[in-house]
């Protein structure tokens, strides 16, 4: 893949991820940012050396991006995607594509009429450890997968992981949910570490998604994103084995269980002088994940964002979909159904939606 340029609309917290990734990688460049807040625009220009523009027409008058990232609030994403697509420019939309079912249907219909070239920037599947787990699942060593228990991320992010790991497409689900409120010591937030010990009440959401022959269970509380005492948990079970976090157990034959780990390999540790970056993840004697942007100094989240940007360029050049509007709409629809089940205590049955028949 040759080098490419892209633009970003929006100048909030999430936009900094795209700017950091592009600054770290020679094959990509941010040619412009649309920032309507002039003070924030000045910060972007001084911090990143990227020109800012007041509108999309102004951006497209002065630049020729391969695609435009819609990195704005969830409420603003749908109209922004329609505006960008109206200029016949490919769109990489932030998640979720719309906030409710009516919005998802409306957006899908409008973008279909426009013939929009759009993908959605869901990144969790591309984080190294999740990608390594998916590779083990895809290898068949665990046999057909029938159960996924996930406590990693919220809403549509979690739905995307559960569907992929279970091998579920657009099948209907029977969903039950509940909420528990408990107490925990507050951890870091976007501003940094806590300045004092403080006890806070937090909600933990639980949901089960029954797809008939496969089931996914979802658990999440907001502190898991940063709190040092609220970790992630993943269990993936198949006929012949399971993955629990980073441990893989499977049957070689009916009397030979094999225990192995997903081993992370990083440069720069214990006196190693190769730099400081993730090389990849091994399972036994196989590399089940190789860092596509090694040797850049990037976090796992930033590596996943970089993968989305590389895949978006592949979509622009070759039409290879990596996370379509249909998939993103389905994951948000499932997340909304889980939220309804949790809030009401009722069992929710999902149905085929307009995007299901087009996939």
Which 3-state string (H, E, C) describes 298-347?
CCHHHHHHHHHHHHHHHHHHHCCCCCCHHHHHHHHHHHHHHHHHHHHCCC
Helices of type H across 25-116: 38-48, 56-62, 77-86, 101-114
Q: Is 314 within the bounds of a domain?
A: no
In a domain, 30, yes or no: yes
Do residue 159 and residue 22 come from a single domain?
no
Q: What was the pLDDT predicted at 357?
A: 78
In a shared domain, residues 259 and 160: yes
Q: Enumerate residues 6+ apart whose C-beta is below 8 A from 168.
A: 162, 211, 214, 216
Token representation of residue 76 = 């603003």
105 with 205, same domain: the answer is: no
Kindly give, in sequence order, each residue whose CB lies less than 8 Å from that of residue 299, ignoring residues fewer than 6 positions away.
none
Q: Of how many residues is the chain composed?
A: 359
Give one DSSP letter per residue of 143-163, joined into a string.
-SEEEEEEESS-HHHHHHHHH
Q: Percentage of the chain surpassing pLDDT 70?
A: 99
Domain boundary among 294, 309, 329: 294
* Same-domain check for residues 71 and 199: no
| Cα–Cα dist 29/67, whole Å | 11
Q: What's the CA gap between 16 and 12, in Å, rounded?
A: 7
Can you read off the two tokens belonging to residue 37? 């807040």
Separation of alpha carbons 178 and 155, rounded Å: 14
In degrees and rounded to multiples of 5, residue 247 shows phi and psi of -100, 130
| Residue reference for tokens 């496969």 | 214
Domain that holds residue 87: 4-121
- Is residue 183, in this structure, part of any structural domain at all? yes
Looking at residue 16, its pLDDT comes to 96
Q: Are residues 144 and 247 in the same domain?
A: yes
Residues 250 and 151 in one domain: yes
Whether 356 is covered by a domain: the verdict is no
Note whether residue 134 is domain-resident. Answer: yes
The answer to whether residue 337 sits within a structural domain is no
Residue 267 CA to residue 288 CA, distance in Å, equals 17
Beta-bridged to residue 69, according to DSSP, are: 8, 92
Instruction: Let me know whether 232 and 277 are in one domain.
Output: yes
The residue among 243, 276, 294 that closes a domain is: 294
Among 267, 263, 262, 289, CA closest to 278: 267
**285 φ/ψ angles, rounded to the nearest 5 degrees:** -100, 15
Torsion angles phi and psi, residue 15, rounded to 5:
-60, -35
Do 227 and 181 form a contact (C-beta atoms < 8 A)? no
Q: pLDDT in tens for each of the 359 residues of the chain?
A: 789 999 999 999 999 999 999 999 999 999 999 999 999 999 999 999 999 999 999 999 999 999 999 999 999 999 999 999 999 999 999 999 999 999 999 999 999 999 999 999 999 999 999 999 999 999 999 999 999 999 999 999 999 999 999 999 999 999 999 999 999 999 999 889 999 999 999 999 999 999 999 999 999 999 999 999 999 999 999 999 999 999 999 999 999 999 999 999 999 999 999 999 999 999 999 999 999 999 999 999 999 999 999 999 999 999 999 999 999 999 999 999 999 999 999 999 999 999 997 65
Q: Which two tokens stand for residue 45?
A: 């220009």
Q: Residue 358's pLDDT is what? A: 63
Do residues 148 and 233 share a domain? yes
Q: Is residue 70 part of a domain?
A: yes
| Whether residue 69 sits in one domain with residue 145 | no
The CATH code of the domain that includes 183 is 3.30.360
Residue 359: per-residue pLDDT: 54
3-class state of residue 28 by DSSP: strand
Global pTM value: 0.95
Element (H, E) at 252: strand 247-253
Looking at the structure, tell me whether residues 85 and 152 fall in a common domain. Answer: no
Question: Do 135 and 97 sit in the same domain of this protein?
Answer: no
Same domain, residue pair 109 and 190: no
Residue-wise pLDDT tens digits, 285-330: 999 999 999 999 999 999 999 999 999 999 999 999 999 999 999 9
Which of 91, 121, 151 is the last residue before a domain boundary? 121
How many domains, the chain?
A: 2
CB-CB contact of 281 with 265 (8 Å): yes
Could you read off the pLDDT of 89-107 as tens digits, one per residue?
999 999 999 999 999 999 9
346 falls within a domain:
no
Task: Give the residues across from 61 on adjacent strands.
Answer: none
Decide if 85 contacts 93 (C-beta within 8 A): no
The edge-to-edge listing of strands for the beta sheet with 348-349 is 286-290, 277-283, 256-267, 247-253, 241-244, 233-238, 145-151, 215-221, 199-210, 174-185, 348-349
Locus of tokens 């919220």: 154
Q: What is the CATH number of the domain that holds 8?
A: 3.40.50.720
Token code pair at residue 189: 């937030």
Distance CA(288)–CA(142), nearest Å, equals 14
Output the six-digit token pair for 109.
Answer: 């219909």
């Amino acid at each position: 893949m040759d080098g490419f340029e892209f633009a970003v609309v929006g100048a909030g917290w999430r936009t900094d991820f795209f700017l950091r990734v592009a600054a770290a990688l020679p094959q990509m460049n941010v040619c412009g940012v649309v920032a309507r807040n002039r003070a924030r625009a000045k910060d972007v220009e001084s911090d990143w050396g990227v020109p800012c523009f007041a509108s999309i027409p102004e951006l497209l008058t002065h630049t020729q991006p391969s695609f435009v990232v819609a990195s704005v609030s969830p409420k603003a994403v749908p109209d922004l995607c329609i505006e960008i697509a109206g200029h016949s420019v490919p769109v990489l939309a932030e998640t979720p594509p719309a906030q409710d079912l009516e919005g998802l249907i409306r957006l899908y219909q409008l973008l279909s009429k426009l013939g929009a070239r759009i993908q959605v920037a869901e990144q969790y599947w591309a984080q190294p450890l999740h990608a390594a787990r998916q590779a083990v699942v895809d290898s068949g060593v665990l046999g057909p997968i029938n159960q996924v228990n996930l406590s990693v991320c919220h809403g549509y992010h979690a739905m995307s992981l559960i569907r992929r790991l279970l091998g579920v497409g657009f099948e209907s689900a029977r969903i039950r949910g509940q909420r528990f409120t408990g107490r925990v010591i507050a951890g870091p937030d976007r501003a940094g570490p806590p300045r004092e010990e403080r006890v806070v009440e937090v909600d933990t959401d639980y949901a089960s998604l029954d797809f008939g022959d496969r089931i996914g269970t979802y658990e999440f509380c907001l502190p898991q994103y940063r709190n040092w005492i609220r970790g992630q948990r993943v269990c993936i079970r198949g006929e012949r084995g399971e993955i629990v976090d980073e441990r893989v157990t499977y049957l070689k034959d009916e009397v030979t269980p094999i225990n192995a780990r997903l081993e992370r390999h990083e440069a720069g540790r214990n006196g190693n002088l190769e730099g400081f970056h993730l090389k990849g993840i091994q399972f036994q004697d196989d590399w089940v994940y190789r860092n596509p942007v090694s040797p850049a100094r990037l976090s796992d989240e930033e590596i996943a964002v970089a993968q989305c940007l590389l895949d978006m360029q592949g979509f622009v050049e070759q039409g290879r979909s990596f996370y379509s509007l249909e998939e993103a709409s389905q994951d948000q629809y499932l997340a909304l159904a889980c939220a309804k089940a949790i809030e009401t205590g009722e069992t929710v049955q999902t149905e085929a939606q307009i995007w299901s028949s087009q996939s």
